Amino acid sequence: MTVMQIVFLITAVVTLFAAFRVVTTPNMVHAALWLIVTLFGAAVFYALLQANFLAVAQVVVYIGAIAILMMFVIMLTRREMRDRGPQTGKQWPWAAVIAAAFFGGLVWLGQQAALPAAPKADVPKDSIAQLGQALVSPNGFVIPFEVASVLLLAALIGAVYLAWTRHQS
Amino acid sequence: MGILSQPVGAIAAWLQALLEGWGLAPGLTKVILYLIGAGLVATLVQVWVIFLIWFERKIIGRFQDRLGPNRVGPYGLLQPFADLIKIITKEVILPAKADKAVYLLGPIVMNAGVLAIWAVIPLMPMVGMDTNIAALYTIAVGAFATLGILMSGWASNNKFALVSAIRTVAQMVAYEVPTVLALLVPVLLAGTMSLHGIVKAQHVWFVIFAPLAFLIYFIASVAEVGRTPFDLLEAESEIVAGFHIEYSGMVFAIFYVADFLHAFTIGALAAVLFLGGWRGPGAEAFPLLGVVYLWIKAFAVYFLVVWARGSLPRVRIDQMMDFSWKFLTPLALILLVVAAVLDHFVIGLGVWGRALSHLAANAVVAWLVLQYLEHYDRARARQRPMVAQPGQYPEARPPAPVETSPETAS
């Protein structure tokens, strides 16, 4: 067993445990913190796969922005951080059945699919430069990239419009 | 591979040979070497904070016309050690209704976020992780400092601490944008996100290429660290001490160390991005000289941070938000576009031609910004005169009626 595999196993166990705690802890802020651990575990997986850019982007976007805003919102809106009621609703057996079936299906698919063998060559050193060029080259993904940009811009303008206070003079 | 030309490489090779001589697997040896390297960097920079504390207290003392620490040791140099012993003997108090685990994790997460930045800082040629995402990485791990403050502010179960934590998030989110945009200018000029590559590309320091981007990066980083004039998160006069109000003993000391180290770290980052990093005469041949150069440059920037702390008053929260969103962010966007477009045309001009044309473009942008600010200021002054208008303040008396009108006077 190589060191990388040991790191992978430890990360996998921690990530799964954290994901489990996200849905079982009664304390909202603790749930948000466990979610951060889970997201960070995903970033470690990316780093182990030598997808450095994805790993860092994961940390910037999910931990740096989304998780912190989530904690912010929880702190602002709830006086009582602890849920006193039961943790499960009435339909929990059905949800469990569907989740189990879905997970089983995924496992079955994973076993059925003929996965290509891992490429022998190492990841190119300047993979991020290739990614950047692919995003803006006409032969690459320039149209999806621009469409996403326009969508984000529209969301930005919409947010500004909604937050605009009109001064009455 | 001599000890002078590649000091760290030589030591690492010797250690690797030693460990493999003991019969360890090569993969395991590599991991052990990484662990030793990471532990050394993390420990040394934290020990370095002991000196920083003395330095900052001394400088602030001079700014305030005091002597600063001068009793323990020569020039008070041993004062931080005395403080250290004192703070170790103090009790770590846990508030009764605090969230214990989160409360104790907060300072550790914050300190870890600051230390993680040092993983990618090129101390000298060939040392420091060389990865093509290092510039983005410094932003990413900065989020952990925010997270640590948020955690400790909430877990203290104290209203002042919570207000401070919420202020921190607002401030960090606001100032992360200009930081990233200003950081993109050296990345664009060097054509790489690797900090090693950025240092190597600086035949002429990038501060000459982009002085305005350097200024924006400096101001926004000071705000992200939460130093004066942006220390709203620990404004003593409003929210007592902010997020660390409930902390005592060594747990508080971790915050203290993280704060000083973060200020010095942004100095080192600014030195790497804009001031040539380890570059200097003879640094290529003797890499140890590179560490000295980097340290001098980082200290110069750190001195500016301390200077600002010694001379500027704290800004109000609305001023802080306005300054980031309405001034720094648009300016950084304009600078980024100007640098990108200009660099396309002048890239063939040679190093100095390129540098001087960028400098000229920066001067033009600075002049336009000053013109705009003056115009904006005048327009606002016209719109809202400095004298109180009748009815503007309910409790103010209306101005005395005009006694002589033109009709009656004549």
Mean pLDDT of chain A: 83
Contacts of B169 in chain A (CB under 8 A): 68-69, 72
Cβ neighbours of B281 (radius 10 Å): 8
pLDDT at B389: 62
**pLDDT one-digit tens code per residue, A5-49:** 888 899 999 999 999 888 888 778 888 889 999 999 999 998 888
CA distance B109 to chain A (A): 12
Cβ–Cβ below 8 Å for A52 and B166:
no
* Distance in angstroms (rounded) separating the CA atoms of residues B67 and B31: 48
Name residue B224's amino acid.
E
Cβ–Cβ below 8 Å for A59 and B102:
no
Cβ–Cβ below 8 Å for B150 and A128:
no
How many CA within 13 A on the CB side of residue B262?
A: 25
Are the beta carbons of B322 and B328 closer than 8 angstroms?
no
Which chain B residue has the Cα nearest residue A54? B133
Name residue A146's amino acid.
E
Q: Checking phi first, is residue B103 left (phi over 0); if not, alpha (psi -120 to 50) or beta?
A: alpha
Interface of B with A (CB under 8 A): 27-28, 30-31, 99, 102, 131-133, 136-137, 139-144, 146-147, 150-151, 154, 162, 165-166, 169, 173, 176, 193
Query: Which value, in Å, is the radius of gyration of the alpha carbons in chain A?
Result: 21
pLDDT at A105: 93
Contacts of B166 in chain A (CB under 8 A): 72, 75-76
Cα separations in angstroms, A44 against A39, A41, A126, B103, B383: 9, 5, 20, 25, 55
pLDDT at B1: 43
Contacts of B150 in chain A (CB under 8 A): 68, 71-72
pLDDT at B4: 58
**Minimal CA–CA distance to B304: which of B259, B274, B263?**
B263
Domain segments of chain B: what residues? 90-377
What is the token pair recorded at A154? 């529209």
* Distance in angstroms (rounded) separating the CA atoms of residues B139 and B60: 29
Report the 3 state secondary structure along chain B. Answer: CCCCCCHHHHHHHHHHHHHHHCCCCHHHHHHHHHHHHHHHHHHHHHHHHHHHHHHHHHHHHHHCCCCCCCCCCHHHCCHHHHHHHHHHHCCCCCCCCCCHHHHHHHHHHHHHHHHHHCCCCCCCCCCCCCCCCHHHHHHHHHHHHHHHHHHHHHHCCCHHHHHHHHHHHHHHHHHHHHHHHHHHHHHHHHCCCCHHHHHHHCCCCHHHHCHHHHHHHHHHHHHHHCCCCCCHHHCHHHHCCHHHCCCCHHHHHHHHHHHHHHHHHHHHHHHHHHCCCCCCCCCCCCHHHHHHHHHHHHHHHHHHHHHHHHHCCCCCHHHHHHHHHHHHHHHHHHHHHHHHHHHHHHCCCCHHHHHHHHHHHHHHHHHHHHHHHHHHHHHHHHHCCCCCCCCCCCCCCCCCCCCCCHHHHC
Average pLDDT of span B73-89: 85
- pLDDT level of residue B392 (50, 70, 90 thresholds): low
Contacts of B142 in chain A (CB under 8 A): 64
**pLDDT one-digit tens code per residue, B240-277:** 777 887 888 888 888 888 888 888 998 889 988 888 87
Name which CATH class applies to A1-82: mainly alpha
Q: Give strand pairing partners of A82.
A: A27
Contacts of B27 in chain A (CB under 8 A): 2-3
* Distance in angstroms (rounded) separating the CA atoms of residues B100 and B155: 7
What is the token pair recorded at A96? 């469990």
Cβ–Cβ below 8 Å for A60 and B144:
no
* Distance in angstroms (rounded) separating the CA atoms of residues B268 and B138: 12
Q: How far is CA B109 from the centre of its chain?
A: 17
Domain segments of chain A: what residues? 1-82, 132-169
CA distance A134 to chain B (A): 16
pLDDT at B71: 83
Q: Is the confidence at residue B148, as pLDDT, over 80?
A: yes
Mean pLDDT of chain B: 81
- pLDDT level of residue B128 (50, 70, 90 thresholds): low
Residue at token pair 């002991």: B50
Residues in contact with B325: Cβ distance below 8 Å, sequence separation at least 6, in sequence order:
B174
Looking at chain B, the whole-number percentage of residues with pLDDT higher than 70 is 90
Average pLDDT of span B94-103: 82
What is the token pair recorded at B46? 């934290």
pLDDT at A12: 92
The size of chain A, in residues, is 169
**pLDDT one-digit tens code per residue, B198-246:** 888 888 888 888 888 899 999 998 888 877 787 777 777 777 777 887 8
Lowest-pLDDT range, B47-51, B90-94, B124-128, B172-176? Answer: B124-128
CA distance A115 to chain B (A): 28
CA distance A112 to chain B (A): 34
Cβ–Cβ below 8 Å for A56 and B133:
yes
What is the token pair recorded at A60? 């910037």
Average pLDDT of span B172-186: 88
- pLDDT level of residue A82 (50, 70, 90 thresholds): low
Which chain B residue has the Cα nearest residue A64? B143
Average pLDDT of span A68-72: 80
**pLDDT one-digit tens code per residue, A132-160:** 888 888 888 888 989 999 999 999 999 88
Are the beta carbons of B142 and B109 closer than 8 angstroms?
no
ipTM comes to 0.76
CA distance B132 to chain A (A): 7
Helix H or strand E segment including A23: helix A3-24
Cα separations in angstroms, B181 against A66, A69, B138, B184: 20, 21, 13, 5
Residue at token pair 């920066």: B362
Q: Bigger pLDDT: B241 or B300? A: B300
Average pLDDT of span B119-140: 78
Cβ–Cβ below 8 Å for A72 and B166:
yes
